[in-house]
């Protein structure tokens, strides 16, 4: 009897222990559920955002009405830029500023023969290749005007309103001039090599310069990172086997878009990736280290979008099946125009948004919520959610 009672007591203890464990687990689950409920405003929007990221948005591609289309007067040659505040349109005789609804804000006559424009953060830069003057304007006024003794090769405008001007030189191959927001020269550099392009970085405290040279009958490009101060060179890359067209700085490194190849240079000046095109370059764009290149190979009927999510990585390539016209990288997406559509891809290669277009366009300009379509003699607008 003693042994039987002992066994019964031991079983009762085990039952009480199991009940206690179940009770503790239930209490923990209730506390966790309460914590999840209380903190839902912190995590629920992020969870919903993840759901949206996997979604492909189909825009209707319907053309805006009202002030659109903007009809173009004079010759068919024009340039269109989005300044961040307004649309700037340069014709053969005038500069026009429009708001995003297509209403004319300002019109000014210019005297340039073959002008080129650049735009950023509400400002418009106007110059002429081979000319001797540069103008920085907005929709209300000419902010400053610069004159040069030597012909201008090209000029660039930074998001902070700084201006870079590259000119020919009598004693050197060319010269670089950097101006602050008010038009005061803060840096000058005399170059013994041909400068192909320059871009600003780090709040316009420095920049990345590309130099084009000939090596054994082949055009090659070097990239250099500089601070806009005396002896401000940080690194210079080795020669890259392509004719460099545009250079983009990011995180201490650079992306070089070349005529027949492109590549990344890291913050030690070392070429970290190189991609040779299988076809003809149609366009390229880069922002914050993310880059997109479009390549048309009509002979093989291959039309490739190459996506680079930073240096040192091989691109994701997507065959879009028809000739590609224009590309822009913005806010982590690559926007691509083909003959009958505009599509946006993320840098994992996922399609994020689409819109059909039904006319012949030569390119596009993107604002935050809209895309402006460049026709031969008109500008159309579509809403574009991405």
**Tens digits of residue pLDDT in 234-245:** 999 999 999 999
Element spanning 57, H or E:
strand 57-59
CA distance linking residue 150 with residue 23, whole number of Å: 86
CA distance linking residue 256 with residue 238, whole number of Å: 13
Asked which of 50-54, 97-101, 275-279, 364-368 is least confident by mean pLDDT, the reply is: 50-54
Whether residue 64 contacts residue 380, with contact meaning beta carbons closer than 8 Å, is answered with yes
User: At 48, is the pLDDT very low, low, confident or very high (cuts 50, 70, 90)?
Assistant: very low
CA distance linking residue 275 with residue 327, whole number of Å: 18
Query: What residues form DSSP beta bridges with 209?
Result: 198, 224
| pLDDT score, position 52 | 46
Q: Tokens representing 178?
A: 């950097």
User: At 320, is the pLDDT very low, low, confident or very high (cuts 50, 70, 90)?
Assistant: very high
Asked which of 214-223, 289-298, 339-348 is least confident by mean pLDDT, the reply is: 214-223
| pLDDT score, position 358 | 86
Whether residue 191 contacts residue 207, with contact meaning beta carbons closer than 8 Å, is answered with no
Whether residue 61 contacts residue 69, with contact meaning beta carbons closer than 8 Å, is answered with no
| 72 or 283, greater pLDDT | 283
CA distance linking residue 339 with residue 99, whole number of Å: 27
φ and ψ of 61, to 5 deg: 70, 15
Q: Tokens representing 103?
A: 């209403």
User: At 104, is the pLDDT very low, low, confident or very high (cuts 50, 70, 90)?
Assistant: very high
CA distance linking residue 317 with residue 291, whole number of Å: 12
Whether residue 279 contacts residue 262, with contact meaning beta carbons closer than 8 Å, is answered with no
pTM above threshold 0.85: no
What sign does the dihedral 51-53-57-63 (CA atoms) show? positive
Tell whether omega for the bond before 69 is within 30 degrees of 0, i.e. cis. Answer: yes
CA distance linking residue 85 with residue 132, whole number of Å: 28
- Kindly give the interhelix angle for 40-53 and 2-38, rounded to the nearest 10 degrees: 70
φ and ψ of 16, to 5 deg: -65, -40
How confident is the model over 321-352, as pLDDT tens digits? 999 999 999 999 999 999 999 999 999 999 99
Place of tokens 């690194």: 235
Q: Decide if pLDDT at 49 tops 50.
A: no
Question: Measured between alpha carbons, how far apart are the two ends of the chain, in Å?
Answer: 80
Element spanning 253, H or E:
strand 253-258
Q: What is the mean pLDDT of residues 224-247?
A: 91
Q: Tokens representing 268?
A: 């030690």
Element spanning 292, H or E:
strand 290-297
| 223 or 33, greater pLDDT | 223
- CA gyration radius for the chain? 29
Give the CA distances from residue 16 to residues 4, 19, 132, in Å, rounded to whole numbers and listed in that order. Answer: 19, 5, 94
Asked which of 144-148, 195-199, 216-220 is least confident by mean pLDDT, the reply is: 216-220
CA distance linking residue 225 with residue 198, whole number of Å: 10
């Amino acid at each position: 009897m003693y042994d039987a009672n002992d066994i019964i007591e031991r079983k009762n203890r085990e039952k009480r222990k199991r009940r206690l464990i179940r009770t503790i687990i239930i209490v923990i689950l209730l506390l966790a559920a309460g914590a999840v409920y209380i903190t839902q405003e912190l995590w629920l929007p992020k969870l919903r955002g993840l759901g949206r990221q996997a979604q492909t948005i189909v825009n209707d591609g319907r053309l805006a009405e009202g002030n659109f289309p903007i009809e173009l007067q004079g010759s068919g040659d024009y340039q269109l830029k989005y300044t961040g505040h307004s649309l700037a349109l340069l014709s053969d005789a005038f500069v026009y500023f429009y708001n995003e609804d297509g209403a004319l804000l300002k019109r000014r006559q210019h005297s340039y023969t073959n002008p080129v424009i650049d735009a950023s953060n509400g400002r418009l830069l106007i110059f002429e290749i081979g000319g001797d003057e540069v103008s920085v304007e907005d929709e209300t006024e000419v902010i400053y005007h610069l004159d040069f003794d030597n012909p201008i090769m090209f000029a660039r405008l930074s998001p902070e309103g700084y201006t870079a001007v590259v000119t020919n030189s009598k004693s050197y191959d060319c010269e670089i001039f950097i101006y602050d927001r008010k038009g005061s020269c803060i840096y000058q550099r005399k170059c013994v090599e041909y400068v192909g392009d320059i871009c600003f970085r780090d709040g316009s405290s420095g920049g990345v310069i590309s130099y084009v040279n000939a090596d054994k009958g082949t055009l090659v490009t070097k990239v250099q990172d500089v601070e806009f101060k005396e002896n401000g060179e940080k690194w210079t890359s080795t020669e890259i086997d392509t004719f460099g067209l545009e250079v983009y700085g990011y995180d201490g490194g650079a992306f070089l878009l070349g005529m027949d190849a492109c590549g990344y240079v890291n913050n030690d000046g070392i070429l970290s990736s190189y991609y040779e095109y299988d076809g003809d370059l149609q366009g390229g764009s880069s922002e914050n280290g993310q880059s997109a290149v479009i390549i048309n190979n009509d002979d093989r009927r291959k039309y490739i979008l190459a996506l680079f999510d930073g240096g040192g990585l091989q691109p994701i390539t997507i065959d879009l099946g028809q000739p590609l016209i224009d590309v822009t990288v913005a806010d982590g997406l690559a926007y691509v125009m083909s003959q009958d559509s505009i599509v946006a891809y993320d840098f994992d290669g996922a399609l994020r948004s689409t819109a059909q277009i039904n006319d012949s366009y030569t390119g596009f300009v993107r604002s935050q919520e809209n895309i402006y379509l460049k026709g031969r003699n008109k500008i159309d607008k579509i809403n574009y959610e991405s």
